[in-house]
Amino acid sequence: MEIQQIKQRFSIIGTFPGLERAIDIARQVAPTDLSVLITGESGTGKEAFPQIIHSLGIRKHGPYIAVNCGAIPDGTIDSELFGHEKGAFTGALDARKGYFEVVNGGTIFLDEVAELPLSSQVRLLRVLETGEFIRVGSSIVVKTDVRVVAATNLDIVQAIKKGKFREDLFYRLNTVPIHIPSLRERGDDILLLFRKFAADFSDRYRMPSIRLDEEARQILLNYEWPGNVRQLKNLTEQLSIIEPEREVSASSLIQYLPDYHKSRLPALINKDLISEETFNSEREILYKVLFDMKGDMNDLKKLVAQIIETGVVSTDIEQENEGIIKKLYSTADDLPTEAEKLITHQMHTKNSRDDEHITDTEEIVEESLSLEDKEIELIIKALEKHNGKRKYAAQDLGISERTLYRKIKEYNIEQ
């Protein structure tokens, strides 16, 4: 069956390449008996793909059942999936077959499979590997022949790292992965879906179909759609019923999208300060930056303590902490006095090394090692170089003009 025919049969609207790729994979894997894992955000229409796989597969004449794993309480999930014996627990008045036994010879769709408790994941893994399970309260092994198609809107890799999902079960389910793109990725498909939903609700409620003006169409294309296709369908139904005018303007549409923002420009984040972990809010990003700065300050304090103790800075220490010093100076004008002296000493050491032609080591020993003297000397040289202009002298020293002015006053440097 061609992709276009599959779309018509299962009422799938859109021409986005990612969507057509997902349909094509489902079509190819349908005649096999491989396990399939469908991923994608909530509301993207994942439930249509198990039906495609079942209808085009060798089990199409067998039973098909969809189970929402997140909607079943943890205490009864094993009984629902694998059945139980009479008296197995309080309220078990009769023996009952589970879904895996009922759907023998067919296909079972486990929606939100990442919500399964770990104990149920172990049972599911055994079914996938051997086709065997044991009812709750029984010791008799039951055989079943079921094809499993699972789906989730969670990041299973992260769930594995947090110990909430078994890695071996993930690899067993993920034999063939199918990813469903989010609505905000699909571009003009948004307008196609809107027109389809508007026509459907027009027939249902026997009223003229609603339309959007040009500005309103741009709003639909720019919106983030956290609820994906499900949210777009609900929005279209609200507009169809509530709006008195059949052509919806941008101002009217925005009233139904309270979290709408005119732009979807990405935020620029310093990758050196922010890890690849996804943060839930700007507050978490700020906390991360502050903690990193605190770590840099601690490193700087250790370096200052070592200089005070030894009186010198080794080349390795200088290179290792040069980036930290620059970053801290770029974010604060008034660092502690010892840190300022250290930075000035670091700069002087580097500049001196570039112009170093001294071969008499005895002269180096006799030279003053006072950080304060070196700092005064460097400030005077910078001021002389720029004819007393503090702005350019501060730039040459790598400090702010405000800090330079304070040091000139502190050391009574005449200009």
3-state SS string for the chain = CCHHHHHHHCCCCCCCHHHHHHHHHHHHHCCCCCCEEEECCCCCCCCHHHHHHHHCCCCCCCCEEEEEHHHCCCCCHHHHHHCECCCCCCCCCCCECCHHHHCCCCEEEEECHHHCCHHHHHHHHHHHHHCEEECECCCCEEECCCEEEEEECCCHHHHHHCCCCCHHHHHHHCCEEEECCCHHHCCCHHHHHHHHHHHHHHHHHCCCCCEECHHHHHHHHHCCCCCHHHHHHHHHHHHHHHCCCCEECHHHHHCCCCCCCCCCCCCCCCCCCCCCCCCCCHHHHHHHHHHHHHHHHHHHHHHHHHHHHHCCCCHHHHHHHHHHHHHHHHHCCCCCHHHHHHHHHHHHHHHHHHCCCCCCHHHHHHCCCCHHHHHHHHHHHHHHHCCCCHHHHHHHHCCCHHHHHHHHHHCCCCC
In a domain, 277, yes or no: no
In a domain, 267, yes or no: no
Same domain, 10 and 152: yes
Name the domain count of the chain.
3
Same domain, 96 and 188: no
Same domain, 242 and 309: no
Same domain, 9 and 158: yes
pLDDT of residue 344: 54
Same domain, 58 and 155: yes
47, amino acid identity: E
Same domain, 163 and 194: no
pLDDT of residue 324: 52
Each residue's pLDDT tens digit, 384-402: 888 888 888 888 888 888 7
Strand order from edge to edge, sheet including 147-152: 64-68, 107-111, 147-152, 36-39, 176-179
In a domain, 276, yes or no: no
Pick from 166, 181, 196: which residue ends a domain? Answer: 181
Determine the Cα–Cα distance for residues 116 and 169; give it in Å rounded to an integer.
11
Same domain, 250 and 357: no
Same domain, 66 and 157: yes
The number of CA neighbours under 13 Å toward the Cβ of 366 is: 4
In a domain, 120, yes or no: yes
In a domain, 260, yes or no: no
Q: Does the predicted model carry a pTM greater than 0.75? A: no
393, amino acid identity: A
Same domain, 147 and 109: yes
Domain containing residue 226: CATH number: 1.10.8.60
Each residue's pLDDT tens digit, 319-332: 555 555 555 545 44
Same domain, 193 and 165: no
Domain containing residue 142: CATH number: 3.40.50.300
Pick from 159, 181, 203: which residue ends a domain? Answer: 181
Token readout for 190 is 């948004």
pLDDT of residue 273: 42
In a domain, 263, yes or no: no
Backbone torsions φ then ψ of 58, nearest 5 degrees:
-75, -10
101, 144 Cβ separation under 8 angstroms: yes
Q: Which bin fits 228, alpha (ψ -120 to 50), beta or left (φ > 0)?
A: left
Pick from 134, 152, 181: which residue ends a domain? Answer: 181
In a domain, 62, yes or no: yes
Q: What is the pLDDT along the chain (415 residues), one digit of tens a residue?
A: 789 999 999 999 999 999 999 999 999 999 999 999 999 999 999 999 999 999 999 999 999 999 999 999 988 999 999 999 998 888 888 999 999 999 999 999 999 999 999 999 999 999 999 999 999 999 999 999 999 999 999 999 999 999 999 999 999 999 999 999 999 999 999 999 999 999 999 999 999 999 999 999 999 999 999 999 999 999 999 999 999 999 999 999 999 998 876 545 444 444 444 444 444 555 556 666 666 676 667 777 777 777 776 665 555 555 555 555 555 545 444 444 444 554 455 555 545 555 544 444 444 444 555 777 778 888 888 888 888 888 888 888 888 887 888 888 888 887 6
Determine the Cα–Cα distance for residues 230 and 168; give it in Å rounded to an integer.
32
In a domain, 97, yes or no: yes
133, 100 Cβ separation under 8 angstroms: yes
Instruction: Taking the CA atoms of 334, 335, 341 and 345 in sequence, report the sign of the dihedral they define.
Output: negative
Same domain, 100 and 147: yes
Range of the domain at 218: 184-254
Each residue's pLDDT tens digit, 276-322: 444 455 555 666 666 667 666 777 777 777 777 666 555 555 555 55
Same domain, 167 and 188: no
Token readout for 99 is 């879904």
